[in-house]
């Protein structure tokens, strides 16, 4: 409820209070009861806020409800920030309406392109306490970012930058978070890498904060995304066994058991302060050194500043590094840049001239056979994507990447494209009687990513290191699993759906990753672990699997202990204390 | 005989020995031969293979002629009437089995590549839970046993496995290396003029930038018929001086609406390296651009006035007034700004 603010309107430029009319901004994610709607905080950097989404897989979800206090009664205009996620010549798939004090507002919402303020209608408020409901009409991913009540009919801005400023002003938010906490090590991103880093550092006595934007830990391995962990434990079996998964098929409900194990273990470790449902949104770096990370609670909007001498970026997308100004790379390098040729696969493996054909993101899904017939709605708005493809099961190769789309900036478009692929293909399969009893059981609404920003370290790990089996004096990660790089099937055959990929596998006996790939080249106190470590596009092909990223995490966790002991930066561990560090790692099992 | 390049095969007049090789896990030596046309132009690699196929300690001899194209890619095989390939119970392969084998041998991505023979022994039908544990793995076993079963001849798993590895194994690289030793401009010419995607791709790789102009007709023909990945390659490699010629620009951009989305992105990005005619050919297709493509296009128009003429402005205005709601706000805003 903290984000629900009532105040007198003011002009943005001068922050002067005007006492003309009342206005209220209600952030949807702060609704007291979410009903069947889910909080989606994945695209905050692009569209400005976490939002509520009616992810009902074709069945309308229960209403989200809340109550607010309005200082003044009377007539209000209500706008809702939403979007039609598949504009076209069909009924918009994500339609919903707003109910105020039991009365449905006139306009159906979710109809316009892009994130905009849609006018819901006017309402007469008779008492100060107002009940608001979001009423889903389709079960197909209607979304609501915020509601705006105003006595005038002036629509708030749609420009993302101005909107951010307006939001802060309307919510009366001071520039800095209300609260500051200091730790020895602040880790952002609770995937396998972040969790392992937290355990290793905490075991060494460091006070650790782990900031993670979901209610459960594990990232892609969590029960929310359901990818199982591959790779070996290397030197860190004890740590990684606390957080890994069984070898079930991707998308399996069994992810839930490993989730319980992981969360229980993580919560039981002394020295780790977990900040679940907190999303980091900014960093201050001075003289190339990070001072703090600011994070926001994804539902309440509460904010905390995390200060520490050392930071780990295990967000997968390299956010901490990006905000701090760390060097990073994105896309495929020229084959000659790091000598990464695999002649057999030529351009598919590594191109003569670099480009943006990165590995794509996926949305996993599962169906179940029931005893009775199961209906599924028609999805005309999906067929542009799914075409004639029919399917009753998803797989890792349901993957999407296209060269006009950035895996971070366009992640919502990519996720939505996958949703259309899934709903459309499933709907098509349901035309066949033999699938009558198949029910769409689970579709993730979280996008599982493979590749985006890669932060640059003192060493850039490449395919050459794998091929040459290079041993480093600071080898802290080892792996025997094949290197696999994916490409979209439609690059080789245009008739294939654009959401399917193929993997190319390179067998390896054992390769090593040096510690120098796990800290930033230009941000002095920043470690990185996980798929945003320092590597080339093909270099990422092997180590992006989660026991390998977990090994990276554990390695930086131990390095942070050496940093603390000698008051050195991550690089200092390599230049001054390598022997001690390697001994510490050697001792683990 | 199953063969993908019949026409070329008819032209074969010469057969010449090149070198010997051995298959995977055996010491049996095979002879690699080169087949050429009457003028001596190389056309195929070829080997008469006799190899033991072993299962459960029992081995049988499989006799087969295997053909590869100049790049070492499998193109066909032939068997002798008297010595057909056989299955587990010594039954001969049927026509359908041979067809399947042909398909399998031509699949460079086959799941058999990363499988050891031992992994394949499970002949028990895989159902229910067992199948579940094999499916859906982003790595180690990208393939399921079911997938393997589907791709091989029923009862002929071991023959399929052995022959796939012979046809697609280390010999492929050796053939490519051999091609290098006899490579010539005539071969480039042959590859570029052919209708085979792998030939075209290789020809383009070998085509030096200064030779692009000489082969521009081939390049354009290939561009309009090849795969997206090869289109990308052409657009990256074509020299700017050539790309900028109005006739070349027009040829690339006039079929903007017919090429795949990835290529469209590249064409838009390359607009400023082309003749301004490109912009006119693009503006009539903004309705099929993706959001980001349209943004890039408008951004380029803003920055490079040479690509924004009256015709384009008129077209944009017409679009902004049209019923296509997808982008009209964006275009209207753009018109206002310029
Ligand atoms: C469909 C699919 C199949 C795959 N198959 C396998 C497989 O079989 N086995 C395997 O091991 N790997 C597999 N991978 C690869 C692997 O899951 C990824 O490479 C994974 O991202 C690596 O884990 P990580 O530790 O780097 O981080 P992630 O698992 O990506 O975790 C990072 C976490 O940080 C959180 N985060 C991001 N930004 C912020 C922020 N600003 N504030 C707070 N939290 C934030 C995110 O929510 C995320 O959960 C697969 C990937 C996909 C998509």
Q: Percent helix, strand and coil across chain A, each rounded to 5?
A: 25, 30, 45
Give the pLDDT of residue B118.
Answer: 64
Report the relative pairing of strands A272-276 and A278-286 from DSSP bridges.
Answer: unpaired
Asked, for residue B56, whether it belongs to a domain, the answer is: yes
This prediction has a pTM of 0.92
Select from A327, A295, A321, A290 the least CA-distant residue to A178.
A295
Asked, for residue B204, whether it belongs to a domain, the answer is: yes
The CA-based dihedral angle spanning residues A231, A232, A235, A240, taken in that order and rounded to the nearest 10 degrees = 70
pLDDT band at A17 (very low <50, low <70, confident <90, very high): very low
Q: Do A347 and B229 touch (CB under 8 A)?
A: yes
Nearest neighbour of B142 by CB, restricted to A492, A503, A507:
A503
Which atom, in ligand 1's list, is nearest to the CA of A214? 47
Q: Are the C-beta atoms of A501 and A399 separated by less than 8 Å?
A: yes
Residue of chain B nearest A490, judged by CA positions: B228
Q: Are the C-beta atoms of B280 and B312 separated by less than 8 Å?
A: yes
Together in a domain, A157 and A225: no
Asked, for residue A373, whether it belongs to a domain, the answer is: yes
Which H or E element spans position A65?
strand A64-69
| Res. A96: pLDDT tops 50 | yes
Interface test with B, best of A403, A442, A495, A549 (most B CBs within 10 A): A403
Together in a domain, A185 and A126: no
Q: Are the C-beta atoms of A445 and A453 separated by less than 8 Å?
A: no
Together in a domain, B47 and B95: yes
Select from A391, A444, A388, A386 the least CA-distant residue to A420.
A386
State in Å: Cα A443 to ligand 1 middle: 17
Select from B47, B42, B43 the least CA-distant residue to B20.
B47
Mean pLDDT, chain A, whole residue set: 94
Together in a domain, A465 and A421: no
Q: How many CB atoms lie within 10 A of CB A469?
A: 11
State in Å: Cα A448 to ligand 1 middle: 6
pLDDT digits (tens, 9 = 90+) for A29-39: 999 999 999 99
CA–CA separation, A573 vs A41, rounded Å? 36
CA–CA separation, B212 vs B192, rounded Å? 11
A318 lines ligand 1 (CB under 6 A): no
A414 lines ligand 1 (CB under 6 A): no
Give the pLDDT of residue B121.
Answer: 53
Residue A482 with chain B: CB contacts under 8 Å? 114, 139-140
Phi, psi of A333 (to 5 degrees): -80, 160
SS3 per residue for chain B: CEECCHHHHHCEEEEEEEEEEECCCCCCEEEEEEEEECCCCEEEEEEEEEEEEEECCEEEEEEEEEEECCCCCEEEEECECCECCECCCCCECCHHHHHHHHHHHCCCCCHHHHCCHHHHCCCCCCCHHHHHHHCCCCCCCCCCHHHHHHHCCCCCHHHHHHHHHHHHCCHHHHHHHHHHHHCCHHHHHHHHHCCCHHHHHHHHHHCCHHHCCCCHHHHHHHHHHCCHHHHHHHHHHCCHHHHCCHHHHHHHHCCHHHCCHHHHHHHHHCHHHCCCHHHHHHHCCHHHCCHHHHHHHHHHHHHCHHHCCHHHHHHHHHHHHCCCCCCHHHHHHHHHHC
Q: How many CB atoms lie within 10 A of CB A8?
A: 12
State in Å: Cα A303 to ligand 1 middle: 24
B296 touches chain A (CB under 8 A): yes
Name the token pair of B185: 């401009």
The CA-based dihedral angle spanning residues B147, B152, B157, B159, taken in that order and rounded to the nearest 10 degrees = -140
State in Å: Cα A57 to ligand 1 middle: 23
A551 lines ligand 1 (CB under 6 A): no
Asked, for residue A348, whether it belongs to a domain, the answer is: no
A262 lines ligand 1 (CB under 6 A): no
Name residues 460-519 of chain A within 8 A of B (Cβ).
Answer: 481-482, 484, 487, 490-494, 498, 502-505, 507
A249 touches chain B (CB under 8 A): yes
Together in a domain, A445 and A548: no
Q: Are the C-beta atoms of A291 and A284 separated by less than 8 Å?
A: yes
State in Å: Cα B309 to ligand 1 middle: 47
Select from A312, A441, A316, A436 the least CA-distant residue to A368.
A441
Work out how many domains chain B is built from and give that number: 2
Together in a domain, A233 and A136: no
Which atom, in ligand 1's list, is nearest to the CA of A552? 25
CA–CA separation, A503 vs B142, rounded Å? 8
* Of the residues A104, A139, A163, the one at which a domain ends: A163
pLDDT digits (tens, 9 = 90+) for A108-134: 999 998 899 999 999 999 999 999 999
Together in a domain, B217 and B293: yes
Residue B227 with chain A: CB contacts under 8 Å? 491-494
Work out how many domains chain A is built from and give that number: 3
Asked, for residue A404, whether it belongs to a domain, the answer is: yes
Distances (CA, A) of A488 to A34, A402, A514: 37, 8, 30
Interface test with B, best of A396, A494, A547 (most B CBs within 10 A): A494
Provide the domain limits for residue B253.
183-337
* Residues pairing with A183 in the sheet: none
* Of the residues A397, A428, A449, the one at which a domain ends: A449
Give the pLDDT of residue B139.
Answer: 33
* Of the residues A394, A425, A449, the one at which a domain ends: A449
Together in a domain, B169 and B35: yes
Together in a domain, B170 and B254: no
Residue of chain A nearest B328, judged by CA positions: A113
Asked, for residue B206, whether it belongs to a domain, the answer is: yes
Place of tokens 């793995």: B137
**pLDDT higher for A4 or A237?**
A237
Place of tokens 């922050």: A15
Name the token pair of A529: 């672990």
CA–CA separation, A573 vs A585, rounded Å? 13
Residue A395 with chain B: CB contacts under 8 Å? 135-136
Residue A494 with chain B: CB contacts under 8 Å? 227-228, 260
Domain of residue A30, CATH code:
2.60.120.260
Alpha carbon of A447: minimum distance to chain B alpha carbons (Å): 15
Question: How many CB pairs below 8 Å do chains A and B form together?
Answer: 116
Give the pLDDT of residue A23.
Answer: 87
| DSSP for A258-305, written as a single string | HHHHHHHHHHHSTTEEEEETEEEEEEEEETTEEEEEEEEETTT--EEE
Asked, for residue A6, whether it belongs to a domain, the answer is: no
A395 touches chain B (CB under 8 A): yes
A250 lines ligand 1 (CB under 6 A): yes
Q: Do A403 and B265 touch (CB under 8 A)?
A: yes
Asked, for residue A440, whether it belongs to a domain, the answer is: yes
Q: Give the distance, in angstroms, between the CA of residue A502 and the centroid of all CA atoms in the same chain.
A: 23
* Of the residues B145, B174, B203, the one at which a domain ends: B174
Give the pLDDT of residue A474.
Answer: 98
Alpha carbon of B90: minimum distance to chain A alpha carbons (Å): 35
Asked, for residue A504, whether it belongs to a domain, the answer is: yes
A192 lines ligand 1 (CB under 6 A): yes
Asked, for residue B196, whether it belongs to a domain, the answer is: yes
- As a whole-number percent, the residues of chain A with pLDDT over 70 amount to 96
Q: Do B132 and A248 touch (CB under 8 A)?
A: yes
A396 touches chain B (CB under 8 A): yes
Nearest neighbour of B139 by CB, restricted to A252, A413, A482:
A482
Nearest neighbour of B136 by CB, restricted to A396, A405, A502:
A396
Residue of chain A nearest B170, judged by CA positions: A344
State in Å: Cα A450 to ligand 1 middle: 7
Q: Are the C-beta atoms of A250 and B133 separated by less than 8 Å?
A: no
Give the pLDDT of residue B187.
Answer: 95
Provide the domain limits for residue A70.
13-163
Together in a domain, B165 and B25: yes
Select from B255, B305, B299, B303 the least CA-distant residue to B276.
B305
* Residues pairing with A505 in the sheet: A484
Select from B70, B73, B61 the least CA-distant residue to B26.
B61
Q: Do A249 and B136 touch (CB under 8 A)?
A: yes
Asked, for residue B25, whether it belongs to a domain, the answer is: yes
Name the token pair of B60: 């049988």
Alpha carbon of A348: minimum distance to chain B alpha carbons (Å): 8
Together in a domain, A429 and A460: no
Together in a domain, B91 and B71: yes
Asked, for residue A18, whether it belongs to a domain, the answer is: yes
Together in a domain, A239 and A95: no
Select from A164, A259, A182 the least CA-distant residue to A218.
A259
Q: Are the C-beta atoms of B195 and B4 separated by less than 8 Å?
A: no
DSSP A372: S
Largest CA distance in chain B: 80
Together in a domain, B17 and B39: yes
pLDDT band at A309 (very low <50, low <70, confident <90, very high): very high
Place of tokens 């080789």: A492
| Res. A20: pLDDT tops 60 | no
Together in a domain, B168 and B261: no
Asked, for residue B142, whether it belongs to a domain, the answer is: no
Distances (CA, A) of A506 to A60, A118, A203, B113, B185: 45, 51, 36, 11, 33
Nearest-CA residue for ligand 1 atom 34 is A189
Q: Which parts of chain B register pLDDT below 50?
A: 122-143
Together in a domain, B322 and B187: yes
Together in a domain, A438 and A458: no
What is the complex's ipTM, to 2 decimals?
A: 0.92
Phi, psi of A191 (to 5 degrees): -75, -165
Asked, for residue A174, whether it belongs to a domain, the answer is: no
Q: Do B135 and A404 touch (CB under 8 A)?
A: no
Which atom, in ligand 1's list, is nearest to the CA of A446? 47
A193 lines ligand 1 (CB under 6 A): yes
Together in a domain, B321 and B269: yes
Residue of chain A nearest B225, judged by CA positions: A494
Interface test with B, best of A404, A410, A442 (most B CBs within 10 A): A404
State in Å: Cα A221 to ligand 1 middle: 7
Name residues 174-203 of chain A within 8 A of B (Cβ).
Answer: none
Domain of residue B189, CATH code:
1.25.10
Together in a domain, A465 and A570: yes
The Cα angle at residue B113 between residues B108 and B119, in degrees rounded to 5: 150
Together in a domain, A97 and A18: yes
CA–CA separation, A121 vs A98, rounded Å? 9
SS3 per residue for A89-154: CCCCCCCEEEEECCEECCCCECCCCCCEEEEEEEEEECCCEEEEEEEECCCEEEEEEEEEEECCCC
Together in a domain, A95 and A124: yes
A188 lines ligand 1 (CB under 6 A): yes
Distances (CA, A) of A271 to A265, A360, A566, A584, B65: 13, 36, 20, 19, 68
**Ligand 1 pocket mutation pick from A258, A282, A305, A316 by most atoms within 8 angstroms of CB:** A316
Q: Are the C-beta atoms of A420 and A382 separated by less than 8 Å?
A: yes
Give the pLDDT of residue B3.
Answer: 87
Together in a domain, A198 and A156: no
Together in a domain, B204 and B283: yes
Together in a domain, B97 and B16: yes
């Amino acid at each position: 409820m903290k984000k629900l603010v009532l105040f007198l309107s003011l002009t943005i430029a001068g922050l002067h209070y005007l006492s003309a009319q009342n206005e209220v901004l209600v952030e949807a994610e702060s609704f007291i009861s979410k009903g069947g709607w889910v909080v989606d905080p994945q695209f905050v950097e692009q569209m400005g806020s976490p939002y509520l989404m009616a992810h009902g897989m074709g069945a309308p979800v229960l209403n989200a409800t809340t109550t607010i206090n309005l200082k003044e009664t009377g007539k209000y205009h209500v706008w809702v920030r939403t979007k039609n996620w598949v504009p076209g010549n069909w009924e918009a798939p994500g339609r919903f309406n707003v109910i105020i004090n039991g009365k449905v507002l006139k306009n159906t919402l979710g109809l316009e392109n892009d994130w905009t303020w849609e006018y819901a209608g006017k309402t007469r408020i008779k008492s100060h306490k107002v009940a608001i409901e979001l009423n889903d009409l389709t079960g197909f991913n209607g979304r609501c970012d915020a509601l705006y009540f105003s006595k005038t009919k002036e629509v708030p801005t749609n420009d993302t930058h101005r909107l951010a400023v307006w939001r802060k002003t309307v919510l009366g938010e001071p520039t800095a978070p209300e609260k500051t906490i200091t730790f020895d090590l602040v880790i952002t991103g609770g995937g396998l890498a972040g969790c392992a880093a937290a355990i290793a550092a905490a075991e060494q006595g460091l006070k650790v904060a782990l900031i993670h934007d979901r209610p459960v830990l594990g990232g892609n391995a969590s029960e929310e995304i359901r990818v199982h962990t591959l790779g070996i434990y290397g030197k860190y079996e004890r740590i990684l066994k606390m957080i890994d998964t069984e070898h079930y098929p991707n998308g399996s409900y069994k992810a839930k058991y490993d989730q319980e194990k992981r969360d229980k273990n993580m919560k039981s470790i002394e020295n780790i302060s977990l900040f679940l449902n907190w999303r980091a949104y900014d960093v201050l770096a001075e003289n190339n050194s990070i001072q703090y990370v600011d994070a926001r609670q994804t539902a309440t909007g509460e904010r905390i500043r995390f200060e520490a001498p050392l930071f780990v970026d295990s967000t997968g997308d390299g956010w901490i590094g990006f905000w701090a100004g760390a060097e990073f790379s994105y896309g495929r390098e020229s084959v000659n840049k790091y000598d990464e040729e695999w002649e057999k696969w030529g351009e598919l493996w590594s191109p003569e001239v670099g480009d943006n054909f990165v590995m794509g993101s996926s949305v996993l899904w599962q169906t179940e056979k029931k005893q009775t017939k199961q209906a599924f709605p028609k999805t005309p708005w999906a067929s542009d994507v799914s075409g004639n493809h029919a399917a009753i099961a998803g797989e890792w190769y349901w993957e999407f990447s296209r060269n006009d789309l950035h895996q971070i900036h366009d992640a919502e478009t990519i996720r939505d494209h996958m949703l259309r692929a899934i709903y459309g293909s499933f709907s098509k399969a349901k035309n066949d009687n033999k699938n009558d009893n198949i029910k769409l059981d689970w579709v993730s609404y979280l996008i599982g990513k493979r590749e985006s920003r890669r932060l640059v370290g003192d060493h850039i790990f490449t395919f050459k290191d794998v091929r040459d089996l290079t041993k480093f004096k600071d080898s802290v990660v080892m792996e025997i699993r094949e290197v696999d790089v994916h490409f979209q099937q439609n690059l080789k055959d245009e008739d294939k759906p654009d959401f399917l990929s193929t993997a190319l596998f390179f067998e390896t006996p054992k390769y090593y990753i040096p510690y120098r790939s796990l800290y930033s080249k230009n941000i002095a106190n920043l470690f990185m672990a996980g798929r945003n470590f320092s590597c080339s596009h093909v270099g990422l092909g092997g180590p992006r699997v989660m026991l390998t990223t977990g090994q990276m995490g554990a390695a930086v966790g131990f390095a942070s202990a050496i940093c603390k002991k000698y008051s050195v930066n991550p690089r200092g561990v390599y230049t001054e204390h390598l022997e001690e560090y390697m001994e510490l790692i050697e001792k683990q099992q | 005989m199953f063969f993908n390049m019949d026409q070329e095969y008819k032209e074969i007049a010469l057969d010449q020995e090149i070198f010997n090789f051995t298959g995977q896990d055996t010491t049996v030596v095979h002879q690699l031969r080169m087949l050429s046309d009457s003028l001596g132009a190389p056309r195929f690699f070829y080997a008469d293979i006799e190899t033991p196929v072993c299962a459960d300690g029992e081995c049988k001899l499989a006799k087969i002629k295997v053909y590869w194209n100049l790049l070492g890619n499998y193109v066909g095989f032939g068997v002798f009437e008297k010595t057909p390939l056989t299955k587990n119970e010594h039954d001969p392969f049927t026509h359908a089995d041979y067809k399947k084998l042909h398909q399998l041998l031509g699949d460079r991505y086959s799941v058999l590549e990363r499988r050891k023979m031992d992994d394949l022994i499970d002949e028990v039908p895989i159902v229910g839970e067992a199948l579940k544990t094999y499916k859906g793995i982003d790595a180690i076993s990208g393939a399921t046993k079911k997938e393997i079963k589907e791709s091989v001849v029923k009862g002929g798993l071991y023959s399929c496995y052995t022959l796939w590895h012979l046809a697609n194994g280390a010999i492929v690289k050796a053939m490519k290396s051999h091609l290098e030793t006899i490579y010539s401009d005539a071969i480039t010419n042959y590859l570029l003029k052919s209708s085979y995607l792998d030939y075209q791709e290789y020809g383009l790789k070998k085509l030096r930038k200064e030779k692009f102009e000489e082969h521009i007709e081939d390049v354009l023909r290939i561009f309009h018929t090849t795969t997206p990945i090869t289109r990308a390659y052409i657009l990256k490699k074509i020299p700017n001086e050539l790309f900028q010629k109005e006739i070349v620009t027009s040829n690339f951009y006039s079929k903007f609406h017919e090429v795949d989305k990835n290529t469209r992105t590249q064409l838009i990005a390359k607009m400023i390296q082309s003749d301004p005619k490109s912009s006119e050919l693009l503006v009539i297709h903004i309705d099929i651009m993706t959001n980001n493509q349209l943004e890039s296009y408008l951004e380029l128009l803003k920055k490079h006035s040479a690509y924004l003429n009256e015709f384009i402005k008129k077209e944009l205005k017409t679009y902004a007034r049209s019923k296509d709601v997808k982008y009209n706000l964006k275009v209207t805003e753009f018109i206002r700004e310029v």
